[in-house]
Each structure stands twice: as C-alpha cells, then as structure tokens.
DNA sequence: CGTAGTATTGAAACGGATCAATATCTGTGG
DNA sequence: CCACAGATATTGATCCGTTTCAATACTACG
C-alpha cells in the first residue's frame, strides 16, 4: 500500500496543514463544547516538526508493542485504537476523530494498535521532538495536558457504557457519543456511523449479533431509522435520551 | 466530622509533607514499574501551595458536579472516584492510591464524586494556582502530562476488564491490578484488598452477589485463599495468571 | 458479475441479575 | 466486656438477556 508523506513547510501558509487538537478546557467557559486549543503560533511551530500522511481505509498505523517513534494527530477521518486479546477477541479502546491525538507511549512502546477506519489524514511528530517542545513551551504542554485529561474522561465514560448490561442501552449511549462528536453538522437528527458493526461490537464488548439485534430493535421500536448502514436518523428523541439515561 | 488541615511550610523540612506523583514515563527506562516523577525542588514548590488534609474513612472529598476549586494528591490511603447513576447503581471509575492525583476539572466542575475508602492523607492545591504553575514550569507540566497519560492507560485497562463477561475473570484481573499496585510489599503472594466487596462490585460493574460468589469459587478452586476479608493469598499463581490472561 | 468480507436472523445454553433469606462484621453504648 | 443495631457479606433459586453455533443474506470491490 502506498503511503503519501510530505514535510510541511513553515510560514503563514502552513496553517492549512498544521496539527491541531480539540478539547474541553479545565476552566468554565462560554460553551460546554470542546474547542480548538492551539494558537496559530503553536500550530506553526508544530507544523515545522510534523509530517502529513494520508492513509487509505483499514490501514494499520502501528501495532501494539511497537517502538513508540511517533505521536500522531488526526486531521481528517476516523481511526481506531484496539488490542487483540489471547482469545482472539478484539477490544476497541477508542475511536479517534479530527482533533484527537494518539501514540503517547508508555515505557517507549505503544500500548494499543491503531488502524484507520475511514480514509484519514494524520500528522505525525517524532516522540522525542514533541516531548522536547513540550518541556520547553509550558503553554503548549498545558494544552496537551488538557487534551489528555479530556481523553481520560472519555475513557471513563466508556467504562460507564460497558457497565451497562443491555445491548440496546450500550448501543444508544454509543450513538449518543457519536452524535456529540458530529454535532454542528447539517441535519441535527442524522448521526453518521462511520465504523462497521463489528467495530462497534468490539468497542461495546458485545457480539456482532447482539449489535445487529439491538439496531433492529431500536429501529422497530421507532426510536431510530437506518437510512443506510452508516447513517442513522433519530426519530424519537425523547425515548432515545431516556434510553441513554436509563442506567 | 473533624477535618485536620495545615498549611505546609516551605524549606528543606517540607519534603516530609510535600505532594508527589507516581507514573510510568513515556521513554523506555530501566524498570517497567512506575516511579516517582517530581524532583525535590518541584515538590518544595508545590508544597508552598499545598494544604495537607487527613480524612477518616468513608468521608466525601467532593461531589459530582461541584465547582472544581482544588486539585488533590493522594499521599496515604485509598480513595475512590465514582458516579451515581439514575437507576441508583453506583459506578466506581477508579481507586486512587498514593502517588495519584484527582480533581482535574472539565469545564470548571468535577466530573466524579470522590470518597475516602480508608483513612487517607491528601494534599490539595487551588486549581488556578496549580494551572498557573503548570503554565510557567514546563518540566512540571510535562510530569503531569505523564501522570495523566498513565491514568488514561489505567482507564483503558479497566475497559478491558469490563469487556470480560465472566465474574471470576473480572475479579481475577482486578486482584491482579491491586497486586501490581502493592508490589514491593513483604509477602509477594499477599494482596491487600482495602476496599469492600460492594466497592469492588461497583468497580467491576457486577452485583455484590456475583463478586461474593466469584471470590468463593476462586477460593474453592484453590487459586486464592482469603486470610480475612481484606487479605488475599495467591495459592496457585499459574492458574491465577492463566485466568487473568484468558480473555 | 462474482467473491470475500460484512451483516442478519434463528435456536439453544450459559451466566449473571434479581429477589429473598440468613450470616457476619463493626462500632457504639450500656 | 458484652450486647445490640446497622451495615456488610454470603448463599440459594429463578428469570432474563446475551453468547454461541449455525445458516443465510447482503454489499462492496475488483
């Protein structure tokens, strides 16, 4: 598979292709929605260190346990972080979307494998170069701290989801999360579901069949309608929210 | 309930009662075990901002949704972060032990409630003062980034645990985690279980009864022995590890 | 237009939740 | 020091929903 890479150039034009991150800050702000954190200056700085890559769907970015050479920024598309268990089961620990980062190592190695779900545009920076910058630019380091704190909240939210026993409820919570991510898109009742059923199953720790049945149930109950396999319309928002909260 | 607080004094003696944090760094090191991250100088600096508090067991530190005034450091004891769900169920998102931090806000509010499990000694620093320091001292900010990244891994590991369907396996993985935390104690086969069965149930998203049965099963199978309710001895390490890995 | 991966549907079995009863522990006051 | 009360934990029986196995349908891509 061909991987396109290109060194980004510094300067004003570079912002079109400079890394960025999105998170909810610590402090109380005007909006609860996550915001872009980096200043143009910071982005330009990172851009001088970053390489851009454009990847096709279902391409492995790196494997679990590999040497953590790079830290990645998602610019476009969706990727998944996952682990394969001894039993052959696969656990998706996170879906990463534009504004997310991944590849922060532990002990010099990646802890999850990462694979593109859709076509994706990423930036990558050498781990050492990034940590050098972070150790020198306190404001930038602080932005990253906000981001990782946010990711921690996300992981905790997933434990809440997995704590539910009913497949319908887990699926509804998952779709609710997707909806927040995609908020600001054209039709507010449309949720784009970019990943496959079995990716969802791996994320929700359900069998593929259970996900399939849950989708059908929610549809026959009139809560959702599937325009196609990757597009859901919320047809009864009240019951949708009630199902999400009912745990 | 009486809460003892005391402003720490700066200077050399302050290290006896200065905040500290523990985490596995990004880079490959000599040991895989988490290490103390802060330098004496950094600790002294934090000590000038910190207040020490000593809390009895089962004392609420703060509630979910409260204004995030303070960031906390665990010096001694165990506390739990949790959320109460509409159904009345309680989900423990994390047990926090010495070297851990908690109270990093999202949008100015705490996202979990926190309560002591055992008697505990904490340090607290005003959120604004801490963030000010972090924005000025890049090395310190970087240490915090390592720490939060570590916590993110921990949360991801918990999603792996919750992904398992069998109560015995979940319990075994939980005990395995506890064992790592307590490693370096006298008898390597003894795991101190400082929390109650129902805390464990809330953490593992199991019913109290399921936890109870799982403990009994592991004991009757000869994998563990309960010296008392809060002390487990691993009697068959091979099968213990196999059970942990079998997922 | 075929083929491999992806998804749906059905039937049976397993395992945890729940309800209910009982046991044990812990801390308090007599 | 003991007895008691409230919280914590154990054990049993039934129910329900998900897993698993199996067969079939769909769909995207070359």
Nearest by CB to A162, from B68, B149, B159: name it. B159
**Cα–Cα distance measured from residue B195 to residue B92, given in angstroms and rounded to the nearest whole number:** 11
Q: Which helix (H) or strand (E) holds B156?
A: helix B138-163
Q: Do A173 and B174 touch, CB atoms closer than 8 A?
A: no
**Cα–Cα distance measured from residue A184 to residue A190, given in angstroms and rounded to the nearest whole number:** 11
- A104 alpha carbon, distance to own chain's centre: 14
Within 8 A by CB and 6+ apart from B161, the residues are B170, B173, B174, B177, B204
Query: Which chain A residue lies closest to B91 (C-alpha atoms)?
Result: A160
For the ranges A9-23, A94-108, B65-79, the lowest mean pLDDT is seen at A9-23
pLDDT for the residue numbered B13: 55
Reduced to 3 states, what is the DSSP secondary structure of residue B171? helix
Within 8 A by CB and 6+ apart from A127, the residues are A68, A69, A70, A71, A103, A105, B26
Within 8 A by CB and 6+ apart from A140, the residues are A38, A42, A45, A46, A133, A134
pLDDT for the residue numbered B183: 77
The number of beta carbons lying within 10 Å of the beta carbon of residue B221 is 13
Cβ separation B107–A163 shorter than 8 A: no
Tokens standing for residue B103: 């109270």
From chain B residues 108-127, the ones with a CB under 8 A of any chain A CB are 108-109, 111-112, 127
Reduced to 3 states, what is the DSSP secondary structure of residue B104? coil
Cβ separation A87–B247 shorter than 8 A: yes
Nearest by CB to A93, from B106, B149, B159: name it. B159
The runs of H, that is alpha helices, within A50-137 are 127-136
Q: Do B216 and B197 touch, CB atoms closer than 8 A?
A: no
**Cα–Cα distance measured from residue A166 to residue A169, given in angstroms and rounded to the nearest whole number:** 5
Tokens 């996300």 identify what position? A154
From chain B residues 201-240, the ones with a CB under 8 A of any chain A CB are 205
Reduced to 3 states, what is the DSSP secondary structure of residue B59? coil
Q: Do B78 and B40 touch, CB atoms closer than 8 A?
A: no
- Angle in degrees, CA A35, A37, A41, rounded to 5: 140
Q: What is the pLDDT along chain B (247 residues), one digit of tens a residue?
A: 334 444 444 445 567 789 999 998 888 877 778 889 999 999 999 999 999 999 999 999 999 999 999 999 999 999 999 999 988 899 999 999 999 999 998 889 999 999 999 999 999 999 999 999 999 999 999 999 999 999 999 999 999 999 999 999 999 999 999 999 887 777 889 999 999 999 999 999 999 999 999 999 999 999 999 998 899 999 999 999 999 998 7
Q: Contacts of residue A32 in chain B, CB cutoff 8 Å?
A: 107
Helix axis angle for B167-182 and B138-163, nearest 10°, is: 150
B91 touches A: beta carbon within 8 Å: yes
The C-alpha of A1 sits at a distance from chain B's nearest C-alpha, in angstroms, of: 30
**Cα–Cα distance measured from residue A21 to residue A39, given in angstroms and rounded to the nearest whole number:** 10
Tokens standing for residue A143: 């932005």
Select from B195, B204, B112 the least CA-distant residue to A162. Answer: B204
Q: Which of B142, B152, B177, B210 to mutate to test the interface with A (most CBs of A within 10 A)?
A: B152
Within 8 A by CB and 6+ apart from A2, the residues are none
**Cα–Cα distance measured from residue A47 to residue A41, given in angstroms and rounded to the nearest whole number:** 10
Report, as an integer, the average pLDDT of A160-185.
93
Query: How far apart, in Å, are the Cα atoms of B49 and each of A150, A236, B135, B162?
Result: 25, 51, 15, 38
Report, as an integer, the average pLDDT of A74-91.
94
Beta pairing partners, B35: B23
Cβ separation A152–B150 shorter than 8 A: no
**Cα–Cα distance measured from residue A55 to residue A202, given in angstroms and rounded to the nearest whole number:** 22
What's the whole-model pTM score? 0.92
pLDDT for the residue numbered A247: 77
Beta pairing partners, B36: B22
B104 touches A: beta carbon within 8 Å: yes
Q: Contacts of residue B132 in chain A, CB cutoff 8 Å?
A: none
B216 touches strand C (CB under 7 A): no
Nearest by CB to B159, from A25, A159, A245: name it. A159
Reduced to 3 states, what is the DSSP secondary structure of residue A117? coil
Tokens standing for residue A87: 């039993």
- A50 alpha carbon, distance to own chain's centre: 20
pLDDT for the residue numbered B127: 96
pLDDT single digits (tens) A23-69? 988 888 777 788 899 999 999 999 999 999 999 999 999 999 999 99
Would the pLDDT of A175 be above 80? yes
Strand C nucleotides within 7 Å of a protein CB: 6-11, 15-20, 25-26
pLDDT single digits (tens) A111-126? 999 999 999 999 999 9
Report, as an integer, the average pLDDT of A195-209.
97
| Strand D protein footprint, C-beta under 7 A | A 165-168, 205-207, 209-210, 213-214, 228-229; B 58, 165, 196-198, 208-209, 211-213, 215-216, 226, 229
Report, as an integer, the average pLDDT of A132-159.
96
From chain A residues 160-199, the ones with a CB under 8 A of any chain B CB are 160, 162-164
The C-alpha of A166 sits at a distance from chain B's nearest C-alpha, in angstroms, of: 12
C1' of D19 to CA of B147 (Å): 38
**Cα–Cα distance measured from residue A112 to residue A117, given in angstroms and rounded to the nearest whole number:** 15
From chain B residues 16-75, the ones with a CB under 8 A of any chain A CB are 24-29, 32, 68
pLDDT for the residue numbered A13: 55
Q: Do A53 and A62 touch, CB atoms closer than 8 A?
A: no
Would the pLDDT of A11 be above 60? no
pLDDT for the residue numbered B2: 39
Select from B106, B122, B129 the least CA-distant residue to B21. Answer: B122
pLDDT for the residue numbered B14: 61
Tokens standing for residue A27: 């402090």
Would the pLDDT of A194 be above 80? yes
A117 touches strand C (CB under 7 A): no
- Phi, psi at residue B21, to the nearest 5°? -135, 155
Task: Calculate the average pLDDT of chain A.
Answer: 91
Cβ separation B105–A155 shorter than 8 A: no
pLDDT for the residue numbered B25: 84
Select from B94, B146, B142, B103 the least CA-distant residue to B123. Answer: B103
């Amino acid at each position: 598979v061909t991987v396109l890479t290109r060194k980004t150039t510094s300067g004003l034009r570079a912002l079109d292709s400079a890394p960025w991150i999105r998170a909810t800050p610590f402090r109380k702000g005007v909006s609860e929605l996550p915001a872009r954190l980096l200043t143009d200056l910071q982005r330009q700085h990172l851009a001088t260190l970053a390489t851009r890559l454009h990847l096709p769907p279902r391409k492995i970015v790196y494997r679990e346990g590999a040497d953590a050479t790079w830290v990645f920024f998602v610019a476009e598309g969706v990727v998944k972080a996952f682990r394969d268990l001894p039993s052959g089961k696969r656990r998706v620990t996170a879906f990463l979307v534009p504004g997310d980062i991944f590849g922060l190592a532990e002990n010099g190695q990646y802890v999850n494998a990462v694979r593109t779900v859709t076509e994706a545009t990423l930036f990558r920076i050498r781990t050492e170069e990034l940590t050098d910058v972070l150790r020198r630019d306190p404001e930038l380091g602080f932005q990253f701290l906000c981001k990782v704190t946010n990711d921690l909240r996300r992981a905790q939210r997933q434990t809440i989801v997995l704590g539910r026993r009913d497949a319908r409820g887990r699926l509804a919570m998952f779709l609710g999360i997707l909806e927040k991510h995609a908020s600001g898109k054209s039709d507010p009742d449309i949720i784009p579901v970019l990943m496959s059923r079995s990716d969802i199953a791996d994320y929700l720790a359900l069998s593929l069949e259970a996900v399939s049945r849950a989708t059908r149930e929610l549809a026959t109950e009139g809560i959702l309608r599937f325009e196609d396999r990757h597009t859901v319309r919320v047809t009864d928002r009240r019951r949708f929210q009630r199902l999400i909260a009912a745990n």
